[in-house]
Structure 1
Amino acid sequence: MAADAAFDFVGIGLILSCALAIVMGVMATGYRTQYLSAMEERANTRGLIENLSEGVYRSSLDGRQISANRALVRLNGYDSEEEMLACVNDIGREWYVDPRRRDEIRALLERDGRVENIVSEIYRHKTRERIWISESSRLVRHKQTGRPLYYEGSVREISETVARLKLEETFRKLTSHLPGALFQFQTRENGRQVAVEYVSIGYYGIVEISQEEGLSGDFLLSKLVHPDDITGYMEGFRQAVEGGTLLDHEFRIVTPRGNEKWLRMTAQRETSPDGEGGTWYGYISDISLRKRQALEIEKLAYFDPLTGLPNRRMFVDRMTETIHQCERSETKGVLLFVDLDNFKSLNDTQGHDVGDAYLVDVARRLKACVRPNDIVARMGGDEFVIVLETTSTEEAVASALAIATGSRIMSSLREPFRQGELRHNSSASIGMLVFDGKASTPDELLKRADIAMYRAKASGRDAMALFQAEWLDGEAERFLLLAELRKALAEGTLSLRYQPQMDRHQRVVGAEGLLRWHHPVLGAIAPDRFIPLAEQSGMIHSICRLVLGQAVRQLADWSTDPSTAGLRLSVNVSVQSFANGPIVDHLIELIETYGIDPALLTLEITEHVTAGDKVEIGRRMGRLKALGVRFALDDFGTGYSSLSRLKGLPFDELKIDGSFVADIDKSEEDQALVRTILAIAGTLDLKVVAEHVETKAQQDFLLSAGCHRFQGYFYAPAITAAEFERFARENGAERSLHAAAPARLTA
């Protein structure tokens, strides 16, 4: 029994030992599995950190780098972690542009335990390039003792973001001082704005709303467009979209405060991805002041300042419309040319004030004799024209209307003109013309009506005459003149004369070369007689070549004499020849041949230059401008309405038309017009030359108004080259315009 008990005890011990061994084995296997799993998790974490796009680091408390992932290594310009750790010794001193930045961050970490998105400027450690970063980090402490162990955190580069923010701040500062406003808004296909994405601060001043109101989002520009301009506004968008061109449109708005303004919008469109609208980027400017000035000058340029009637330019426009209307409706029109009898006698004996009062009274009487829709215009002096529209296709009916209206006018004008004790028996000679839509030009119709008027005047005055076709036999003179002109060109009998141009100190600064033709039999023939013939016959190109050739040779001659070297010379160039002929190439060849300074040559062109291909004309002007040749806008003031169309053409100066200078010493309207022209010229940085200055009073007014250059009979007529050179030598020294007048030549 005892032996069996001992055996049982031993057996139980063996069993327990085996069980213990089994348990220990199982536990060891579990620990190994956990260890391997932990190692795998650690490797995964390390791999994750290594492949992050942000830099991850661990650093010691004294500023040494302990570890860094691949992103941080690349950010600092190194190829490996080992290389970077070997090179970085003191993060605060070597890494931050401002070494104190490290201490600031450490203070925050000790206080709060962590920092997030701290922005700092640092060096890319290896290359010393300065960059911007955003950094988040924490202070790691011992879990049991709380003792600080190390820092760890993440870094990402934000250099591009900082640069963009700086640019945006600079952009805001710049745009806050713009006179206009930049914008970006979206539209749908109908041109209606649907969302405003950006406007600069100047926008709020233009449309007169506060920035708070603007932030409400309900400030779409299209809501402010003037009702009369909304159709054109939408049409501008449509044309820009269909043509793929830049939007450049002027329109009115009515601000929330009730003020009307003129705006100019220039914008480029970027099509939306869905193709149903677009985003427009552009600029808005307030052009109200310029528009008011333009309208004022347009009124002065299109209406006679004395009588308030349309002037010649307005008449030509209206007459052109009437011709087209007759063509469309196949009806007749009537033109009456009214010339006052004995007006010169009244004006000379009673004075200009009485003469002007009489002209105003005549204008009133003429308007009372016609229908409201008929045109009454003053052509200048004592000449008036009237255009009557009819609904008749019969010439006889139109002729009867012309005679009836003419009789009514003659009866009205026979009533004596009274002013104070003055009683003037007035009358007029009237030329009448019936025309249709086949008429050529207003000027041609005027010529025929003028012929009829002279027939009436030749019959004894106070009479009417209806134009007859056979009266055109006088055109034979025209063909004779053309033949003689061809001969003159062939023989070289056309030549330049030189009218001095003076500066503010009465020094000769140059001359205008004026073409003159002295025929051995017909005598002196004025340019206004033969230049139109040359343009009609095609000889104008030859005349322009002749003028430019003489001008360039004259400049070459002047350059050899110290008393004339440096003087400028301006010559007129036909718009027709400049736009269509080989004049540019010819002039360039002349300049190269004679070796003149191109900056001393000025080409004068009238505003009719805009009637042709503006792009081609601008290109031709640009070729000569590149050499230094200057351009002047001639006869400025008579056609200001086209000034907006001259935008982009490189003019250097403008010449005030002589018709505005003639009465400038006594006409407030002409004075206002000239002041406005000079103000605009100053704004556009253009020099100004006043033509046809004939009196000291005219000169003094122009001087006080700020004019730069002067020419006219007050100084000298157009003279020969030798006479001009002598005049230039005698008037080359500086002197004041308020001092004694220069030595002058008379015609």
Structure 2
Amino acid sequence: MDWLVDGIAAFSSGDNRSILLSVLTVALSGAFAWRYRRLYRKAMDENDNTRELIEHLSEGVYRSSIDGSQISANRALVKLNGYEEEEEMLASVSDIAAEWYVDPTRRDQFREILHQNGYVEDFVSEIFRHKTRERIWITESARIVYDKKTGKPLHYEGSVREITETIARLKLEEKFRKLTSHLPGGLFQLTANSGGVSKIDYLSEGFHRIAGIPLRRHYDDASLFHSFVHPEDREAYVDAFRNSNLGLTPIDHEFRIRTADGQEKWLRMCAQPEAGEGCTTWYGYVSDISLRKRQALEIEKLAYFDPLTQLPNRRFLVERISAAVGECGRNGRKSLLFFIDLDNFKILNDTQGHDVGDAYLREIAERLKGCVRDTDTIARMGGDEFILMIEDVAGDQPAAEAMAAGAANDMLAALRRPFELGEIRHSSSASIGVVVFDGTERRVDEILKRADIAMYQAKSTGRDSAALFDPSLMECENERYVLVGDLRKAIADETLELHYQPQIDRTGKIVGAEALLRWNHPVLGPVSPLRIIPLAEQSGLIGSLCRFVLKTAIRKLAEWSERPETSQLRLAVNVSVKTFGTSGVVRFVEDLVAASNIDASLLTIEFAESVTVTDNAAIASRMRALKEMGIRFSLDDFGSGFSSLARLKKLPFDEVKIDGGFVTDIENSESDRALVRTILAMANTLHLEVVAEHVETKNQEAFLHAFGCDCFQGFLYSAALPATEFETMILSAISGTQGPEHLDQLIA
């Protein structure tokens, strides 16, 4: 600009001033024009840059008219609507509200907010991708552009961003939340770094229900849940995570917690670890298994505990004895085993009812608990048998035996106290077998067997006592064991026999016989029924034995029915009450009678007198079922102490048999004579026939005959004979051949 300065200096005087002013005016105008063009170009460049920026934004930008027409759209918005070019899109869209929004009312809501506030932000709507009609989700923000002079709205300017994936994810998260909120357990994501610091990444609502603690507190303190784990289970809980972290192995662990309100719950945790940069993340599930645990404990209780007394049962006891045997072997100490059998429990249970018997057993359990330490074991073996075991006994064999004797005496004293329930008073006592074991004998069944043998030894000495196992008793027990096996085989092979003792009526005629069991052992020779029956009852063979007797007797009646001289003979057989108490016995007898085609009225089933104190209803029902076929029933050993008139009337008996002990002494004992007269009178009142057994003298016969006895049986007439001899005797007597003394005079 130096030329301008110089020019101004040259023409600064005289007439040149006007020329100077003109030149200066032109120069300034040119300068201003040049500057304006430069600013305009800059503004245009900035505008182009802005348009290019908007065009390349990933978010859609638009301008639309107030009435709903699209004015402009950037490339992102064009593509969002499924078009390639802006012109194509603008030409296709005529009504934004009707063509774009899935719910057209959303456009009205959008405009209402816009005109109320002048702008709208993050307005979420479901729209159509205009060209393809695909439904998508967007979020939209906009403002109204006003005329600066008039203040009237000119158009809308706004931006649109597609959030379809976000909405889909939110919907999935909502579904996931709803699903997990109804799960019985809780989902979790937990991360622990190498320094041992943990943080909760995710917890489902189930954790709140499980522990009773708001989820926020779990997020704030990742170790909070650990503090609720039961102290006894805490170490194993930590080890489960430690071991999983070391080997990246899954966790499957059960443990207990104490909830915020004090409840104890059992939980199961299953989790899969995943290694990361300096950390491990577990994705897992925790479920409440308290119900299953309670059920498992109930099942275990049923499996290992007696439901009546709540004491351990045989199964539990066997495991405890086995463990004690092993411990004795390791520490060189001893253990004591007491086999306790209650005396006369059956009488109490049968006469007073099972509810009284159950109450008695429960009291016995409590008494025994008071005799030992909490660490000792008391078990109920079943019925009226209990086992008590004292472990970890120091000292030598004599010292252990002395301690066992003292403990047994304490138990006997506790069990001697009378049992009282209401008006019932029962003199209580027990027989106790004692075994001291040191681990030398490792078989549990052998230890129990020895205690059982010792208990029977105590019983044999008069009961209410204790006996220490004596090894010499094993010989007798081993013989009994062998005899049981032989008896089982004899029953199966039907090598047992029935002998027949005749029964005589008042006219002197043989009207039948009683079948009596005989066993001729191949080594021992004849074995007394007094030994056979208890052996069968103790070994569980009594049912098989009674079925053999019934089958053999009915078979013999079928043979007799084919011969005129024996076709009217009656036959009586003894059946145990226990066998008759089984549900299948009626069908068994019915089938035998039907198959043999005998006259059922010729068969008499005899029961011991104890039948009157058993379950009368069940026994009576089975008796009546067989009586409908014609079978008769006899009450054996009547008068020996169990029967009463009231109980006798409840059972459908046809006859009673006077106990042989009374018959034997009627010649010498006035009390026995009075008792026999009473029995005969009572039977006559009840319309029952009376059979007297063990008749050995004519004076006995005469007395019984005089007071109305109906039938006689005993050595006065004949001993029990094998079948062939009995039948030969009958035929000989009929033909007039001399038979056994006195018998030939009695056969008509």
Aligned in 2, Cα 1:274/1:72: closer, same or farther, shift over 3 Å?
same
Compute the TM-score of the two structures, normalised by the length of structure 1: 0.53
How far the C-alpha of 1:214 sits from its partner, in A, is: 8.7
Letter in 2 for 1:336: F
Whether the 8 Å CA contact 1:324–1:437 is kept in 2: the answer is no
Task: State the distance in 2 between where 1:113 and 1:87 align.
Answer: 28
Task: State the distance in 2 between where 1:372 and 1:111 align.
Answer: 83
**1:466 matches 2:473:** no
**1:344 matches 2:346:** yes
Deviations 1:511-540 (A, max 9, x none): xxxxxxxxxxx9xx99x999xxxxxxxxxx
Per the alignment, residue 439 of structure 2 pairs with 436
Aligned in 2, Cα 1:177/1:70: closer, same or farther, shift over 3 Å?
same
Task: State the distance in 1 between where 2:194 and 2:625 align.
Answer: 69
How far the C-alpha of 1:229 sits from its partner, in A, is: 4.7
Per the alignment, residue 325 of structure 2 pairs with 323
Deviations 1:5-38 (A, max 9, x none): 99x9999999999988887776666555445444
Task: State the distance in 1 between where 2:323 and 2:35 align.
Answer: 107
Whether the 8 Å CA contact 1:141–1:150 is kept in 2: the answer is yes
How far the C-alpha of 1:124 sits from its partner, in A, is: 0.6
Task: State the distance in 2 between where 1:232 and 1:109 align.
Answer: 62
- Please give the secondary structure, in 1, of the residue aligned with 2:103: coil
Whether the 8 Å CA contact 2:212–2:259 is kept in 1: the answer is no
**1:59 matches 2:61:** no
**1:264 matches 2:276:** no
Task: State the distance in 2 between where 1:302 and 1:715 align.
Answer: 35
**1:310 matches 2:315:** no
Per the alignment, residue 99 of structure 1 pairs with 104
Whether the 8 Å CA contact 1:331–1:437 is kept in 2: the answer is no
Aligned in 2, Cα 1:381/1:140: closer, same or farther, shift over 3 Å?
same
Deviates further, 63-72 or 442-451: 442-451
Alignment of 1:223-372 (within 5 A): 223-238=227-242, 241=245, 244-255=249-260, 257=261, 259-268=262-271, 273=276, 275=278, 278=281, 281-285=284-288, 287=290, 302-349=304-351, 351-353=353-355, 355-356=357-358, 358-360=360-362, 362-364=364-366, 366-372=368-374
Deviations 1:297-338 (A, max 9, x none): 755664434445332233234334423433442433232323
Letter in 1 for 2:224: L
Deviations 1:641-671 (A, max 9, x none): xxxxxxxxxxxxxxxxxxxxxxxxxxxxxxx
Aligned in 2, Cα 1:451/1:219: closer, same or farther, shift over 3 Å?
same
- Please give the secondary structure, in 1, of the residue aligned with 2:54: helix
Whether the 8 Å CA contact 2:233–2:255 is kept in 1: the answer is no
**1:221 matches 2:225:** yes
Deviates further, 187-196 or 316-325: 187-196
Larger radius of gyration: 2
Per the alignment, residue 49 of structure 1 pairs with 54
Alignment of 1:166-565 (within 5 A): 166-174=171-179, 197-200=202-205, 204=208, 207-208=211-212, 220-238=224-242, 241=245, 244-255=249-260, 257=261, 259-268=262-271, 273=276, 275=278, 278=281, 281-285=284-288, 287=290, 302-349=304-351, 351-353=353-355, 355-356=357-358, 358-360=360-362, 362-364=364-366, 366-392=368-394, 394=396, 397-406=399-408, 409=411, 424=427, 426-436=429-439, 439-440=442-443, 442-443=444-445, 445-454=447-456, 462=465, 464-466=467-469, 468=471
Deviations 1:165-209 (A, max 9, x none): 334444455555555555556667899976585442x65555556
- Please give the secondary structure, in 1, of the residue aligned with 2:77: helix
- Please give the secondary structure, in 1, of the residue aligned with 2:375: coil
Deviations 1:222-248 (A, max 9, x none): 444454554454445445555632444
Whether the 8 Å CA contact 1:65–1:88 is kept in 2: the answer is yes
Sequence identity (%): 46
Letter in 1 for 2:145: V
Aligned in 2, Cα 1:340/1:158: closer, same or farther, shift over 3 Å?
same
Aligned in 2, Cα 1:745/1:86: closer, same or farther, shift over 3 Å?
farther
Task: State the distance in 2 between where 1:275 and 1:114 align.
Answer: 49
* Gaps in structure 2 of 5+ consecutive residues: 1-9, 493-531, 542-580, 595-620, 627-748
Per the alignment, residue 89 of structure 1 pairs with 94
Deviations 1:28-69 (A, max 9, x none): 665554454444333322322222110112223443333222
Whether the 8 Å CA contact 1:328–1:437 is kept in 2: the answer is no
Aligned residue among 62, 70, 74 for 1:69: 74
Aligned residue among 109, 114, 120 for 2:119: 114
Alignment of 1:582-593 (within 5 A): none
- Please give the secondary structure, in 1, of the residue aligned with 2:82: coil
- Please give the secondary structure, in 2, of the residue aligned with 1:436: coil
Letter in 2 for 1:114: Y
Aligned in 2, Cα 1:426/1:100: closer, same or farther, shift over 3 Å?
closer
* Gaps in structure 1 of 5+ consecutive residues: 489-521, 531-693, 696-711, 724-740
- Please give the secondary structure, in 2, of the residue aligned with 1:47: helix
Per the alignment, residue 128 of structure 2 pairs with 123
Per the alignment, residue 140 of structure 1 pairs with 145
Task: State the distance in 1 between where 2:428 and 2:44 align.
Answer: 126
Aligned in 2, Cα 1:321/1:240: closer, same or farther, shift over 3 Å?
farther
Deviates further, 203-212 or 225-234: 203-212
Letter in 1 for 2:439: D
Higher relative contact order, structure no. (Cα contacts within 8 Å, ≥ 6 residues apart): 1
Task: State the distance in 2 between where 1:290 and 1:190 align.
Answer: 37
Aligned in 2, Cα 1:213/1:423: closer, same or farther, shift over 3 Å?
closer
- Please give the secondary structure, in 1, of the residue aligned with 2:250: coil
Letter in 2 for 1:149: L
Deviations 1:692-726 (A, max 9, x none): xx99xxxxxxxxxxxxxxxx769989x99xx9xxx
Whether the 8 Å CA contact 2:190–2:201 is kept in 1: the answer is yes
Letter in 1 for 2:321: M
**1:159 matches 2:161:** no
Aligned in 2, Cα 1:151/1:335: closer, same or farther, shift over 3 Å?
same
How far the C-alpha of 1:92 sits from its partner, in A, is: 2.1
Number of paired residues? 495
Task: State the distance in 2 between where 1:433 and 1:478 align.
Answer: 28
- Please give the secondary structure, in 2, of the residue aligned with 1:77: coil
Task: State the distance in 1 between where 2:179 and 2:83 align.
Answer: 40
- Please give the secondary structure, in 2, of the residue aligned with 1:390: strand
Task: State the distance in 2 between where 1:358 and 1:189 align.
Answer: 64
- Please give the secondary structure, in 1, of the residue aligned with 2:131: coil
Task: State the distance in 1 between where 2:361 and 2:105 align.
Answer: 89
- Please give the secondary structure, in 2, of the residue aligned with 1:387: strand
Task: State the distance in 1 between where 2:445 and 2:417 align.
Answer: 31
Whether the 8 Å CA contact 1:336–1:430 is kept in 2: the answer is yes
Deviations 1:52-106 (A, max 9, x none): 1101122234433332222112211222333323322322221111233334434
Task: State the distance in 2 between where 1:292 and 1:373 align.
Answer: 24
Aligned in 2, Cα 1:330/1:465: closer, same or farther, shift over 3 Å?
closer
- Please give the secondary structure, in 1, of the residue aligned with 2:350: helix
Whether the 8 Å CA contact 1:124–1:131 is kept in 2: the answer is yes
Letter in 2 for 1:376: I
**Alignment RMSD (CA, Å):** 5.4
Aligned in 2, Cα 1:400/1:153: closer, same or farther, shift over 3 Å?
same
